[in-house]
Structure formats: C-alpha cells, structure tokens
Amino acid sequence: MGRLQKILIPFAGLVLAFWFYSAREDFKPEMLKGKRVIVTGASSGIGEQMAYHLAQMGSHLLITARTEAKLQKVVARCLELGAASAQHVSGSMEDTAFAEHVVKEAEELLGGLDMLILNHIGSSYFHYFDGDVGHVRKLLETNFLSYVAMTVSALPMLKESGGSIVVVSSMAGKVGFPFTVPYSATKFALDGFFSSLRQEFALQNTNISITLCILGFINTDSAMKAAADVVLIPPAPKEECALEIIKGGALRQREVYYKYATIKFSLLLRDWAADLLDYLIRREYNLENLEKK
C-alpha cells in the first residue's frame, strides 16, 4: 500500500465518523411548542415574520421594538395564529437599561426563557462612509451593546433551561461590503463576541447554544427602500428567511446561511480568493442610482 493510501484511508474514515456522529436531527415545529421566546425588532421585517412562525408553532412570545402600535398588531396576529401567549414591551435598544428591562419582563411574564432571538437594528444610511464617528458609536450601542446586555441578563434563565441564543447577522458581518460601513462594523462585532462566547461555553460545559445567522439581501420593506434600486441581486423572501433562522436556532446550529448556496459559496471565495470576491461584490451595485440618492 502506497504512503498516500496509508494517509488517505484513515483520513476518509475520520471524516465519515465525524459526519456520522454530527448528523443533524430533523427540525419539527413541535420543538418550539410551549417554549418561552423573546424576539427583538419584531414590529416589522424578519422579526415580525419570526413572531408569526413561532406563534403557529405554539410558543410563548415576548416581542419588542420601539413602535407600540405596530407591536400591538403583531401580538394580536400572533394570538390568532395560535401562540400559547403573546405580549410586548416597547422601547429603544439605544439604551442598554431598556435591553436589560426586556429580559426582566420575560422573567416576570414568562417565568423563564428558552430562546433569545436578537434581531433588531437601528437605522443607518446606505451610501459612502460619511465620517460621522457619533453615528458609528450610536449604532454600536443599538446593534451590538444591547445584544451583549440582553445576553448577560438572560444567562441565568438560559442556563436553567439549557436554552438558545440566536443572533441575526449579515454577509456584511463576514465580508467587506461598500455603503454599509457603520452597520458592517456592528455585525463583525457580533461575530467576534458571540463566536468567542461559544468557545467559553464549550470549555465551561455551559449548555446554551449560540446560532449566528448570516443573511444575504432579504425583501423587507426597510431593506427594499434603502437598497432595491442600487443592489443588482434579487432579494430573498423574508418569510422563508425567518423560518430558516428559527430552524437553525431550534437545532442548535452554530451558523445559519440564508440563502445557503450563495452565502456558502461567497464564504469559500472569501477564504480562497478574497480579491476576486471583493471584485464580484463591487459589480453588484448600480452606482448611478446610488449617486441619485
């Protein structure tokens, strides 16, 4: 037997064993039945769709965002769809005290927590970086620090339930995209914080899963308004996106990619041909329309 075969056969065995033992459980909607879930940024977009899916699966929901009237409508719809319970708390995640308050509300209203879905984002601009350091700081507070504050406050309840943290991020948190510099910085920060925390959980045998969701362009109203006339790639549907995030969280996956093939291929290119990926990304914009904004 050649030396190459001596190496290849055990290696193939190892890969097969790893694949076999890490084979994933199938998702079943019953996994969420009766689970106590917080969804942030649930007054619109992907967060709203996640609330509806969870309601249909029979979860207890606590949703949050700033706009009271929209939250009331989402709660009413969740109850119609079959949520075990649905409540809301309104306020701004610019203030970490509010982030902590939401978790305390979950403790009082739900009596514990099984899944923390961190999804909200503060508004930013879609254009060349304007040099406004204050805006970067404010966005870090809303998009990053409030995620940290909610996680810290929720840890005792999540430890008790062996629960899950689901962090909604973006391709702009893995790869450099133009026109979203402050937003992109906040999403890279989430990857650093939560991927490191996942390692510490593993070392300390903390039974809390962390799922980081890497999304491409999704057809939410806000994303379409900000970028539809500039981004040349077609957006993916928010309803399906929301379901994929919930599935990934329930299955305790480390990362969710939506849509899978496009994101996975881009991440492979990032690692093997970063300049080529950067070039391809720059070709995905209509710069004439950007200048008209």
Ligand X SMILES: NC(=O)c1ccc[n+]([C@@H]2O[C@H](COP(=O)([O-])OP(=O)(O)OC[C@H]3O[C@@H](n4cnc5c(N)ncnc54)[C@H](OP(=O)(O)O)[C@@H]3O)[C@@H](O)[C@H]2O)c1
| Chain positions contacting ligand X, by CB under 6 A | 41-47, 65-67, 70, 92-94, 119-122, 142, 168, 170, 215, 217-218, 220, 222-223
| Residue 166: C-alpha distances to residues 2, 35, 189, 191, 205 (Å) | 47, 14, 15, 12, 19
Nearest of 59, 4, 16, 63 to residue 34 by alpha carbon: 59
90 or 161, CB closer to ligand X? 90
Provide the residue type at 116 as one letter.
L
Provide the residue type at 117 as one letter.
I
Helices assigned H by DSSP within 176-237:
181-203, 221-227
Nearest 10 degrees: CA dihedral of 171, 131, 221, 121? 70
Report in angstroms how near the CB of residue 271 gets to ligand X at its nearest: 20
Catalytic residue chosen out of the listed positions 52, 147, 183, 257: 183
Report in angstroms how near the CB of residue 179 gets to ligand X at its nearest: 13
Report in angstroms how near the CB of residue 293 gets to ligand X at its nearest: 17
Who contacts 197 (Cβ-Cβ below 8 Å, separation ≥6)?
151, 210
DSSP string, 220-267: -HHHHHHHTTTB-SPPBPHHHHHHHHHHHHHTT-SEEEESHHHHHHHH
| Residue 156: C-alpha distances to residues 17, 67, 144, 207 (Å) | 35, 29, 20, 11
94 or 161, CB closer to ligand X? 94
Nearest of 246, 248, 252 to residue 198 by alpha carbon: 252
Report in angstroms how near the CB of residue 273 gets to ligand X at its nearest: 23
Report in angstroms how near the CB of residue 163 gets to ligand X at its nearest: 20
41 or 178, CB closer to ligand X? 41
44 or 195, CB closer to ligand X? 44
112 or 237, CB closer to ligand X? 237
Who contacts 200 (Cβ-Cβ below 8 Å, separation ≥6)?
206
Is 52 an annotated catalytic residue?
no
Q: How many Å apart are CA 161 and CA 36, to the nearest integer?
A: 10
Report in angstroms how near the CB of residue 44 gets to ligand X at its nearest: 4
* Number of residue whose CB is nearest ligand X: 45
Who contacts 275 (Cβ-Cβ below 8 Å, separation ≥6)?
none
Q: How many Å apart are CA 231 and CA 111, to the nearest integer?
A: 44
Report, as residue numbers or ranges, the catalytic residues.
Answer: 183
